[in-house]
Amino acid sequence: MEFNWKGVMPAVTTKFTQEDTLDIPLFVHNIKAQLDAGVHGIVLGGTLGEASTLEDEEKRILTRETVQFVNGKVPVLMNIAEQSTKGAISAAQKAEQDGASGLMMLPPMRYKAGDRETVEYFKAVANNTSLPIMVYNNPVDYKIEVTLAMFEELLKCDNIEAVKESTRDISNVTRIKNNFGDRLKIMCGVDTLALESLLMGADGWIAGLVCAFPAETVAIYELQKAGKIQQAIDIYRWFLPLLELDINPKLVQNIKLAEVATGLGSETVRAPRLPLVGDERVEVLRVIQEGLNLRPQLPKYKNL
């Protein structure tokens, strides 16, 4: 399926059993909730998906299972986060073989590549796959910024089509639009800047709390798209304390706890991550419960 860079695309969590194996039935349960809510794509193996702890074969299983379950309803995107160019090319080709319809790509892991090295890394993968690519630009967490000058070079590759904009600088949406127009699609990658980014022209939202609150997330996107800005703002203001659980070093544990509260997952994580305990757990549960207590009645947001 050809990627249409728009709408809400959940960066889904990976579900594990108590025996530390993939929990495919629970994973599929969550994917079904995402589809029922009207999401526009599925992103596998990102930070929320605990990519750094997944074995190669587990990533392939997740891709194949998701592609089979989704059955063409929405595109399926696999994250590429590798330490070597060779490894990134191999991961991209395996994702393509397993049926993924697009890639999200981080810069090289561990090694802080320079600008030229980063550009050549992305281009090497782009030249060795036919899949469309979204560059994940998150200098806050990954310490490498893909600048506008670097994108000028990267866009010579036809299949580099989008950016997951996570610089935390909202004006960057306008800079990208001013420089590249629709040639570089913009997907907001920061939950707490999502509505602001969409209103400034971003095409979509790679979302985190959507894993626990799919309908509310899609409603915000659809309402703002239809010009019902105040309705979108009202939901977003309710959502913000929950969205802030995503901009935290323990975002995986936080969001998995929220999935438990909404019946869409478990809090089982893969070591070295551990479930939250003590005051930290109490505070996250308080935020989640308060959100549930004040959960808004959603308007009919589909087909606006």
Q: What is the pLDDT of residue 110?
A: 85
Q: CB–CB of 82/50 below 8 Å?
A: no
- Cα–Cα distances (Å) from 133 to 87, 106, 197, in that order, read 16, 10, 20
Measure the CA–CA gap between 252 and 249, rounded to whole angstroms.
8
Coil, helix or strand for 83? coil
Which residues of the chain fall below pLDDT 70?
1-2
Measure the CA–CA gap between 126 and 224, rounded to whole angstroms.
33
Q: What is the pLDDT of residue 181?
A: 97
Q: What is the pLDDT of residue 224?
A: 98
219-258 as b/e, with b when 16 or more CB fall inside 10 Å?
Answer: bbbbbbeeebeebbeebbeebeebbebbbeebbbbbbbbb
Alpha helices in the chain (DSSP H): 24-37, 56-70, 85-97, 115-126, 139-142, 148-154, 171-180, 194-199, 214-225, 229-243, 251-261, 278-293
In this predicted model, what pLDDT tens digit does every residue of 92-133 receive, in sequence order?
A: 999 999 999 999 999 999 889 999 999 999 999 999 999 999
- Identify which of 7, 3, 4, 1 has the alpha carbon closest to the alpha carbon of residue 207: 7
Q: CB–CB of 203/6 below 8 Å?
A: yes
CB-CB neighbours of 277 under 10 Å: 9
Beta bridge partners of 43: 11, 77
Q: CB–CB of 130/156 below 8 Å?
A: no
* CA 287 from centroid of its chain's CA atoms: 22
CB-CB neighbours of 65 under 10 Å: 18
Q: What is the pLDDT of residue 2?
A: 58
